[in-house]
Copies of this chain bind each other. A is one copy, B any other.
Amino acid sequence: MSLADRPSPVATRRAARREEILTAAERLLDEDGIEGLTMRRLATEVGMQAPSLYKHLRDKQELLGALQQRALQSMGDALADAGPTLAELAAGYRTWALANPALYRVATAVPLERERIDPEIEERAAAPVVAAVDGDEHRSRALWAAAHGMVDLELRHRFPDGADLDAAWAALVAAFEA
């Protein structure tokens, strides 16, 4: 990076403010779920009026996109650390999702704008899944969808109350191991 390209102090301050906003947004998400994240609440959380947010973010869509990117990053980390077997990968996926339910929603529900998102992030999160089915892309999509479905239904409390979800996950893993 040449001297001329060094980010100016004001640019750095702007970026820091943006980080501060995103972090506050994650905190809101964590505390009050996805419907707790409103532009107005977020503004008071960082100590400004709602309209001021629009100096840092184009709109709520962009906010959600940025959070989605962070979520995929964090999930990618978790999957990379999970271990190579299908069972370990599945457990890692479920564990991350249950630990970050609102962030999982954002990662998963927001229609990701493929133009703007860093494609590396998505690929990195997907890589262990592809590896677990020996590179078969169709099987990897089915596996990814299956894991997503399990988590989605669990988070929405759509399984019967006493349902043995460990056993359901085991059945899922078994199906894809064969």
Contacts and interface: CB of A to CB of B under 8 A. Distances in A.
5 tightest Cβ-Cβ pairs between the two chains A and B:
A149-B149, A145-B149, A146-B146, A142-B172, A178-B178
A141 interface: yes
A111 B156 contact: yes
A96 interface: no
Given A167-B138, A178-B178, A146 B172 contact: yes
**Number of this chain's copies in the complex:** 2
A90 to B, nearest CB: 10
A87 interface: no
A142 B175 contact: yes
Contact of A142 (B136, B144, B171): B171
A109 interface: yes
A20 to B, nearest CB: 29
Interface stretch (A10-18, A23-31, A41-49, A157-165): A157-165
Nearest to A159: B141
Contacts of A163: 141
A64 to B, nearest CB: 13
Nearest to A173: B142
A170 interface: yes
